[in-house]
């Protein structure tokens, strides 16, 4: 089945799937039709057990937005908060359907204040402003996208006394400074807006009103004012075009960007691609006063997950789960349409195998999540709803999201999955090239990641470069640790299920904008759907290996080596070092014991029956081997749960994994050994 699957995905089918998913706006909670269509498609493909699972989280939607300079009179300005039509992109003409620039979960408010520029809005940026004597109380803070999750920018501004936040896209980060902008190139044009959620993701994801429990219709809910992971001040995203008058209004007021730091200047100050003579990135406060109006309508509203189940023939009570979210801020060709198309083509290809008589050894679930963009809500509520069952039966979760947004393969995973990722990517051909996904991955791997690989992957076999004489030994490409930002979060960090996510990256210039369209995808990223097809091969290949292998292809030695690297990467105080040295040694010892059991079991299963054995002895031996294999598979499949602390991480108890969590002050990036790292920080 594994080899046959690789020839089944078809480019024209993937294009058909993507065409449907990008044909209209599909915000979370407002497009049940798309959920029903996804369900019907899976049933047409031969998957008979496909259901829509409904939850009732709190979401909010924009009703009125305004950003304006209201004084002094020479600087008066009203932002349009819309993205211009691109003539050649048909979906950009659907202006009535395209939502205005807004942040999911932003607070409502009508505030006016002087402007302060805070660079990327990181904790160190606000610390620098304090050191420069900048008073942020009652100001509106202007920050640019990048470096940390947008919600944490709002949190920092709120904690420093600001009354509102404006987040804009600077050409230095994903626009003209990177290359030609859309529609002439793949990068963000100056009129483009990055929407997104401002939930404090590193506190907890999912429905803000029901942390830790599923958001059923009759669930007990927190009052909005008691929620800890939502902002209390309003925020709005801006295009660079709309941010320019604000940046000009700051020029000459307060410390300069150069006084603040070497990375505080954006493209407006020094790049020919985005330079503006009136922009100096002064930090303020400005003389100008800015009015920010953000009226949001919040409500408890249904969302719809689509869940397909293919029952296993030998181990139906062990599950491999594959997921992708379906909702988008606008049209979502890359995010998440590419992943949705790949998930659907995986379902179609598995349907062909089913009709040919194949059944998976273990049960496979294919899940299309809703409301990921607001805060991983569909997947989180499903995990919270089925937590006990998942911890009894689920052996792995495979996630795809914006799986095609460039040409460079990247992977994030529990370390036990690393060897499987290497194996499958070697087996999947990459159309338009003469090699495999793995070949492209190795050739593209940045040299700066080689040291990371050594600590994270540890004992993985080196690659021999036969073109060099004498042969040069190279480390395999990096598989990064998982942080957050997509639907693997609840599976790994709340339930303790081995998880992974992968994608082809390179062009983030239309991320969360109206220009993340099929036209953009086919013009600049994947005109022949080679990368979509390769992504389907990787997704289905990994799922089939996990579902069909008699011994689960999870490697605990790789996990042990990764743990050593994480421990070595943290600089500890003396008293913390004494503790971690002991616990680290115990952990390595435990993993070594499991690895020894692995070797013993593998040897036992490979023994042939001896001819001089009696039949009943052979049957008895076989039964013992099968029991042993089942026990070993459970040790492998449930190993990740050994790192789950029921009480959770002290600073944020929803997150329960002691090895992996999102960075407390970054949101997306992984923070290995979070309790130890936070105690040091």
Residue 343: give its domain's CATH number: 3.40.630.10
Q: Is the pLDDT of residue 606 over 90?
A: no
Q: Is the pLDDT of residue 427 over 90?
A: yes
Does 432 share its domain with 452?
yes
Classify residue 452: in a domain, yes or no.
yes
Classify residue 353: in a domain, yes or no.
yes
Coil vs helix vs strand at 235: strand
Which residue in 40, 184, 583, 602 is the catalytic one?
A: 583
Q: Give pLDDT, residue 612.
A: 40
By the 10 Å C-beta count (0-12 exposed, 13-18 middle, 19+ buried), 356 is classed as: exposed
Which residue in 83, 207, 372, 501 is the catalytic one?
A: 372
Range of the domain at 509: 2-57+301-548
Q: Give pLDDT, residue 610.
A: 41
pLDDT band at 465 (very low <50, low <70, confident <90, very high): very low
Yes or no: say if 360 and 548 are a contact pair by the CB < 8 Å rule. yes
Tell me, yes or no, if 634 is annotated catalytic.
Answer: yes
Spatial distance between the Cα atoms of 554 and 526, rounded to a whole number of angstroms: 32
Question: H helices of 132-273, where?
Answer: 150-159, 171-174, 240-250, 257-260, 267-270
Q: Is the pLDDT of residue 64 over 80?
A: yes
Instruction: Count CB-CB contacts under 10 A for residue 542.
Output: 26
The overall average pLDDT reported for the chain is 89
Q: Give pLDDT, residue 461.
A: 29
pLDDT band at 666 (very low <50, low <70, confident <90, very high): confident
* 240 Rama class: left (phi>0) / alpha (psi -120 to 50) / beta: alpha
Does 536 share its domain with 588?
no
Does 500 share its domain with 608?
no
pLDDT band at 561 (very low <50, low <70, confident <90, very high): confident
Q: Give pLDDT, residue 452.
A: 34
Quote the DSSP letter at residue 26.
Answer: -
Question: pLDDT tens digits for 236-292?
Answer: 999 999 999 999 999 999 999 889 998 999 987 766 666 777 889 999 999 999 999
Does 409 share its domain with 523?
yes
Evaluate the omega torsion of the peptide bond into residue 183 and state whether it is cis, within 30 degrees of 0.
yes
Give the percent of the chain with pLDDT over 90: 77
The CATH code of the domain that includes 229 is: 3.50.30.30
Tell me, yes or no, if 407 is annotated catalytic.
Answer: no
Burial code (b: 16+ CB inside 10 Å, e: under 16) for 566-592 equals bbeeeebeeeebeebeeebeebeeebe
Q: Give pLDDT, residue 563.
A: 87
Does 94 share its domain with 6?
no
Classify residue 447: in a domain, yes or no.
yes
Q: Give pLDDT, residue 289.
A: 97
Give the percent of the chain with pLDDT over 70: 87
Q: Give pLDDT, residue 618.
A: 64
Does 441 share its domain with 352?
yes
Q: Give pLDDT, residue 455.
A: 29
Does 326 share its domain with 461?
yes
Spatial distance between the Cα atoms of 68 and 78, rounded to a whole number of angstroms: 4
Query: What secondary structure does DSSP assign to 448-494, as a single string?
Result: GGHHHHHHHH-SPPPEEETTSSSPEEEPPPPEEPP-SSSTHHHHHHT
Tell me, yes or no, if 10 is annotated catalytic.
Answer: no
Q: Give pLDDT, residue 592.
A: 57
- The DSSP H or E segment spanning 365 is strand 362-369
Which residue in 160, 407, 512, 657 is the catalytic one?
A: 657
Using the 3D structure, point to which of 278, 296, 314 is the last residue of a domain.
Answer: 296
Q: Is the pLDDT of residue 571 over 80?
A: no
Q: What's the token pair of residue 162?
A: 């600001």
Does 284 share its domain with 416?
no
Q: Is the pLDDT of residue 111 over 90?
A: yes
The residue among 276 and 109 whose pLDDT is bigger is: 109
Q: Give pLDDT, residue 623.
A: 77
Using the 3D structure, point to which of 247, 263, 296 is the last residue of a domain.
Answer: 296
Spatial distance between the Cα atoms of 591 and 563, rounded to a whole number of angstroms: 10
Mean pLDDT score, 166-192: 95
Count of domains observed in the chain: 3
By the 10 Å C-beta count (0-12 exposed, 13-18 middle, 19+ buried), 220 is classed as: exposed
Q: Give pLDDT, residue 472.
A: 36
Q: Is the pLDDT of residue 333 over 70?
A: yes
Does 353 share its domain with 423?
yes
The whole-model pTM stands at 0.91
Does 74 share its domain with 44?
no
Does 50 share its domain with 71?
no
Q: Give pLDDT, residue 276.
A: 78
Classify residue 83: in a domain, yes or no.
yes
Q: Could you give the C-alpha distances from 89 to 92, 219, 522, 550, in angstroms and in order?
A: 6, 43, 11, 49
Q: Give pLDDT, residue 619.
A: 64
Q: Which of 671, 666, 507, 660 is nearest to 147 (CA)?
A: 666
Mean pLDDT score, 573-587: 52
303-310/362-369 β-pairing: antiparallel
Classify residue 17: in a domain, yes or no.
yes
By the 10 Å C-beta count (0-12 exposed, 13-18 middle, 19+ buried), 95 is classed as: exposed
Classify residue 195: in a domain, yes or no.
yes
Classify residue 564: in a domain, yes or no.
no
Q: Which of 449, 323, 478, 329 is nearest to 396 (CA)?
A: 323
Mean pLDDT score, 477-505: 96
Q: Could you give the C-alpha distances from 422 to 407, 437, 538, in angstroms and in order?
A: 18, 9, 10
Mean pLDDT score, 412-428: 97
Using the 3D structure, point to which of 269, 296, 323 is the last residue of a domain.
Answer: 296
Classify residue 565: in a domain, yes or no.
no
Q: Give pLDDT, residue 316.
A: 97
Which residue in 10, 287, 452, 634 is the catalytic one?
A: 634
Does 289 share its domain with 313?
no
Question: pLDDT tens digits for 364-387?
Answer: 999 999 999 999 999 999 999 999
Instruction: Count CB-CB contacts under 10 A for residue 86.
Output: 20
């Amino acid at each position: 089945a594994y080899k046959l699957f690789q020839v089944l995905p078809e480019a024209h089918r993937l294009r058909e799937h993507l065409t449907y998913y990008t044909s209209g706006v599909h915000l979370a909670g407002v497009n049940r039709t798309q959920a029903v269509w996804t369900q019907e498609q899976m049933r047409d493909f031969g998957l008979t057990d496909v259901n829509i699972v409904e939850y009732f989280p709190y979401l909010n939607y924009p009703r009125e937005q305004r950003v304006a300079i209201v004084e002094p009179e020479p600087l008066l300005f009203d932002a349009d908060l819309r993205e211009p039509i691109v003539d050649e992109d048909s979906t950009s003409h659907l202006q009535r359907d395209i939502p205005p620039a807004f942040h999911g979960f932003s607070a409502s408010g009508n505030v006016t204040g002087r402007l302060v520029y805070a660079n990327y809005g990181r904790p160190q940026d606000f610390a620098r402003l304090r050191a420069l004597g900048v008073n942020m109380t009652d100001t509106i803070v202007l920050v640019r996208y990048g470096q940390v999750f947008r919600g944490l920018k709002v949190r920092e501004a709120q904690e420093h006394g600001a009354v509102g936040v404006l987040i804009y896209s600077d050409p230095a980060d994903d626009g003209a400074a990177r290359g030609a902008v859309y529609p002439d190139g793949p990068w963000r044009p100056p009129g483009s807006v990055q929407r997104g959620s401002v939930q404090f993701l590193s506190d907890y994801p999912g429905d803000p009103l029901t942390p830790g429990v599923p958001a059923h219709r009759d669930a007990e809910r927190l009052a909005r004012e008691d929620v800890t992971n939502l902002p209390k001040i309003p925020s709005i995203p801006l295009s660079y075009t709309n941010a320019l008058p604000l940046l000009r209004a700051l020029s000459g007021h307060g410390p300069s960007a150069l006084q603040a730091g070497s990375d505080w200047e954006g493209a407006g100050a020094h790049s020919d691609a985005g330079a503006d003579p009136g922009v100096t990135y002064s930090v303020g406060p400005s003389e100008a006063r800015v009015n920010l109006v953000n009226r949001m309508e919040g409500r408890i509203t249904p969302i719809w997950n689509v869940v397909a189940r293919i029952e296993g023939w030998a181990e139906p009570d062990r599950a491999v789960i594959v997921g992708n979210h379906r909702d988008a801020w606008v049209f979502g060709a890359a995010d998440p349409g590419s992943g949705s198309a790949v998930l659907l083509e995986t379902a179609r290809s598995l349907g062909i195998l089913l009709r040919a008589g194949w059944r998976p050894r273990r049960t496979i679930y294919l899940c299309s999540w809703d409301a990921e963009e607001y805060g991983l809500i569909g997947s989180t509520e499903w995990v919270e709803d089925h937590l006990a069952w998942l911890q009894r039966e689920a052996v792995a979760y495979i996630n795809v999201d914006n799986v095609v947004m460039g040409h460079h393969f990247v992977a994030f995973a529990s370390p036990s999955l690393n060897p499987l990722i290497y194996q499958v990517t070697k087996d999947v051909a990459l159309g338009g090239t003469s090699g495999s996904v793995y070949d492209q991955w190795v050739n593209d791997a940045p040299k700066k990641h080689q040291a990371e690989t050594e600590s994270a992957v540890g004992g993985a076999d080196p690659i021999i470069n036969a073109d060099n004489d004498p042969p040069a030994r190279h480390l395999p490409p990096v598989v990064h640790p998982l942080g957050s930002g997509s639907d693997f979060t609840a599976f790994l960090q709340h339930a303790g299920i081995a998880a992974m996510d992968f994608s082809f990256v390179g062009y983030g210039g239309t991320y969360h904008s109206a220009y993340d369209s099929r036209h953009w995808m086919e013009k600049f990223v994947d005109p022949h759907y080679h990368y979509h097809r390769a992504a389907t091969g990787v997704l289905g290949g990994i799922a089939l290996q996990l579902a069909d292998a008699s011994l689960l292809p999870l490697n605990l030695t790789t996990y042990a080596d990764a743990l050593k690297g994480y421990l070595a990467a943290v600089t500890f105080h003396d008293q913390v070092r004494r503790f971690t040295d002991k616990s680290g040694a115990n952990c390595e010892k435990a993993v070594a014991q499991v690895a020894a059991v692995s070797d013993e079991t593998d040897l036992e299963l490979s023994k042939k029956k001896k001819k001089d054995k009696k039949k009943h002895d052979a049957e008895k031996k076989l039964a013992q081997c099968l029991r042993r294999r089942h026990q070993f598979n459970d040790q492998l499949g449930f190993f990740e749960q050994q790192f789950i602390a029921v009480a959770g991480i002290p600073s944020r108890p929803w997150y329960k994994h002691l090895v992996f969590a999102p960075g407390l002050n970054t949101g997306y990036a992984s923070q290995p050994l979070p309790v130890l790292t936070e105690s040091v920080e």
